A and B are shown apart, each in its own frame.
Chain A
Amino acid sequence: MSLLELGNVTAGYGQFTALWDVTLRVDAGEAVAVVGPNGSGKTTLLRVISGLIAPRAGQLVFDGAALAGKPAHEIVAHGIAHVPEGRRIFPVLTVADNLKMGAFLPAARHRFAESLARVFALFPVLAERQKQRAGSLSGGEQQMLAIGRALMSRPKLILLDEPSMGLAPVLVLRLFDLIHRVREEGYTILVVEQNVRQVLKLVDRAYLLEVGRIKMEGRAAELSEQDFVRKAYVGL
């Protein structure tokens, strides 16, 4: 059985429907990407999984538990950490306090020191900047902090929303490198990206989302060979 399974999920905001009948799975240990143009519903998809919005219909099963409609703060406790679009770190708090908030759940607090050591090993720059206000970090460092903060909750699945957004091209490559290292640590990742070429190198499988519907899915290597994807997104 898959770690995460979405069955026929429909969701939206008010009158507007952003996702239609989305079915998707992520197996334990896998890295999966959801790619697609702006406004295709990628962010909504992650917000449904982490409980920031409730789906109108469909199933959401994670690690054997039905989570559809549960509030965000309960879903985190099941082991899903969401690194939201635009990083959403706490700018006035120090880097150390941001990481502490990542371990807010009682179960995570018990393993705080161990988790912190792992995050610092992955992102040494965060150890150097512990006492600094998070808002004073550079864009790339803020993204590392956002990912580090998510890791502090000891998740089984990490949701990454546009991690490369707003970063200089050089930094984008470094960031994908770092996400690759997070992968190698054994974390399961579901990533949403505009940077299709880079992200397809990183993941095992990918879904193509268009106007709220899954248009295609497959192994990352196969998908990047498809003419359609190459022309529209990879730009080759």
Chain B
Amino acid sequence: MIDPIFLAEAAINGIMLGGILALLALGLNLIFGVIDIVWIAYVDLVMVCMYALYFFVQVYGWPFWLGALGAVAVGAALGVGVHLLIISPILASPPVNQLLATGGLLFFLQSFATFLWTTDHKSVRFSLPSWELGGIFFPATRLIPFALSIVALVGLYVFLTRTYMGTAIRAVSQDREAMALMGASPRRIYLVTSAVGGLMAGLAGALLTFQYSVHPFFGNQFGPLTFMICVLGGLGNMVGAFVASFIMSEIISVAGVVWSTEMGYVIAFVVFIVMMFIRPGGILARRG
């Protein structure tokens, strides 16, 4: 029998991981909901941002907060770049071609990163405290990313619900043509959406750096998981993706303590497959 303290700690770690997964899933989902194209290489953009942060902090000696802001800026620039160079020319292409194009970007980024930076793991060194409460450890390397991811998610929520541009982004995902009749240039909305999506990839990269080292294939670790969360929550459904992030992170974290990390992923994917049979439209899909 496992000590309940370990289980509690695993559950708390799950919640903290869920915050970052939610950032990734919502970023990917936002872009899909508006532009209708899945960026297969989304988490590979995160990888590039993590390298940027590594270079800013470990090589150029910037303070961490400045490096993190830099990584976020790099993410936003990558988002705009990906849209202009890859997505924009294939907006009207068949979905298969769109998948192949963004999938091609994935291989390009992984190979290019290997070429430039080798396959060595690179990490930013931290010396952060850890707190204990009732036998459970709360390391700052988990608490800080979690807190920041929640702040970012609240920020995203406010942006999407309170501002003209954010509301327009949601409106475009429902009716592109009607939003053009409101005076919104679809091209501009797409660019802003891609920038916001990229910005979230940059932030997720900065927050993942607290616990993970970066290597060219980092995207393979979180990419399929992020995509799975989006589908589980219902592609394009922001609330669904948020809820699914925490379900998945809890399964991985708790099963990881009870059995092993690998088993955690196995169970997460089994749950995903079963849920796809029960609720193919996503956990929060409205029936009918």
Task: List the interface of chain A (C-beta within 8 A of B).
Answer: 50, 52, 71-73, 76-77, 81-82, 84, 88-93, 97, 100-102, 104-105, 108-109, 149, 153
Any A CB within 8 A of the CB of B171: yes
* CA–CA, A77 and B185, complex, Å: 11
Enumerate chain B residues within 8 angstroms of A93, measured Cβ to Cβ. 167, 170-171, 174
Chain A nearest Cβ from B67, distance in angstroms = 36
In this complex, what residue of B is CB-closest to A104? B182
Enumerate chain A residues within 8 angstroms of B164, measured Cβ to Cβ. 100-101, 104, 109
Q: Is B182 a contact partner of A84 (Cβ separation < 8 A)?
A: no
Known A77-B183, A97-B171, A104-B179; further 10 A-B contacts with Cβ < 8 A: A71-B180, A73-B180, A73-B182, A76-B183, A89-B178, A92-B174, A101-B167, A101-B179, A105-B182, A153-B182
Q: Is B182 a contact partner of A102 (Cβ separation < 8 A)?
A: yes
Question: Given contacts A100-B164, A104-B164, are A76 and B181 in contact (CB under 8 A)?
Answer: yes
Q: Is A52 a contact partner of B171 (Cβ separation < 8 A)?
A: no
Partner of B178 from A90, A109, A153 at Cβ < 8 Å: A90
In this complex, what residue of A is CB-closest to B180? A72
Any A CB within 8 A of the CB of B262: no
Any A CB within 8 A of the CB of B184: yes
Instruction: Determine which residue in A50, A82, A90, A149 has the highest number of CB atoms from chain B within 10 A of its CB, and name it.
Output: A90
Enumerate chain B residues within 8 angstroms of A72, measured Cβ to Cβ. 177, 180-181
Any A CB within 8 A of the CB of B168: yes
* CA–CA, A73 and B177, complex, Å: 10
Q: Is A50 a contact partner of B181 (Cβ separation < 8 A)?
A: yes
Q: Is B167 a contact partner of A97 (Cβ separation < 8 A)?
A: yes
Enumerate chain A residues within 8 angstroms of B181, measured Cβ to Cβ. 50, 52, 72-73, 76, 81-82, 84, 88
Task: List the interface of chain B (C-beta within 8 A of A).
Answer: 164, 167-168, 170-171, 174-175, 177-186
* CA–CA, A93 and B164, complex, Å: 13
Question: Given contacts A93-B167, A97-B167, A109-B164, are A104 and B174 in contact (CB under 8 A)?
Answer: no
Question: Given contacts A91-B174, A92-B174, A93-B174, are A101 and B168 in contact (CB under 8 A)?
Answer: yes
* CA–CA, A105 and B185, complex, Å: 10
In this complex, what residue of A is CB-closest to B173? A92
Partner of A104 from B168, B175, B177, B186 at Cβ < 8 Å: B168
Enumerate chain A residues within 8 angstroms of B179, measured Cβ to Cβ. 90, 101, 104
Q: Is A92 a contact partner of B180 (Cβ separation < 8 A)?
A: no
Enumerate chain A residues within 8 angstroms of B184, measured Cβ to Cβ. 73, 101, 104
In this complex, what residue of A is CB-closest to B179? A101
Chain B nearest Cβ from A23, distance in angstroms = 24
Q: Is B167 a contact partner of A73 (Cβ separation < 8 A)?
A: no
Enumerate chain A residues within 8 angstroms of B185, measured Cβ to Cβ. 71, 73
Enumerate chain B residues within 8 angstroms of A101, measured Cβ to Cβ. 164, 167-168, 171, 179, 182, 184
Enumerate chain A residues within 8 angstroms of B170, measured Cβ to Cβ. 90, 92-93, 97
- Chain A to chain B contacts (Cβ below 8 Å), 14 pairs: A50-B181, A72-B180, A72-B181, A73-B183, A81-B181, A84-B177, A84-B181, A88-B175, A91-B174, A97-B171, A101-B184, A104-B164, A105-B183, A109-B164
* CA–CA, A90 and B175, complex, Å: 7
Instruction: Determine which residue in A89, A100, A104 has the highest number of CB atoms from chain B within 10 A of its CB, and name it.
Output: A104
Question: Given contacts A71-B185, A92-B174, are A100 and B167 in contact (CB under 8 A)?
Answer: yes
* CA–CA, A76 and B177, complex, Å: 13
Enumerate chain B residues within 8 angstroms of A89, measured Cβ to Cβ. 178
Enumerate chain A residues within 8 angstroms of B174, measured Cβ to Cβ. 90-93
Enumerate chain A residues within 8 angstroms of B178, measured Cβ to Cβ. 84, 88-90
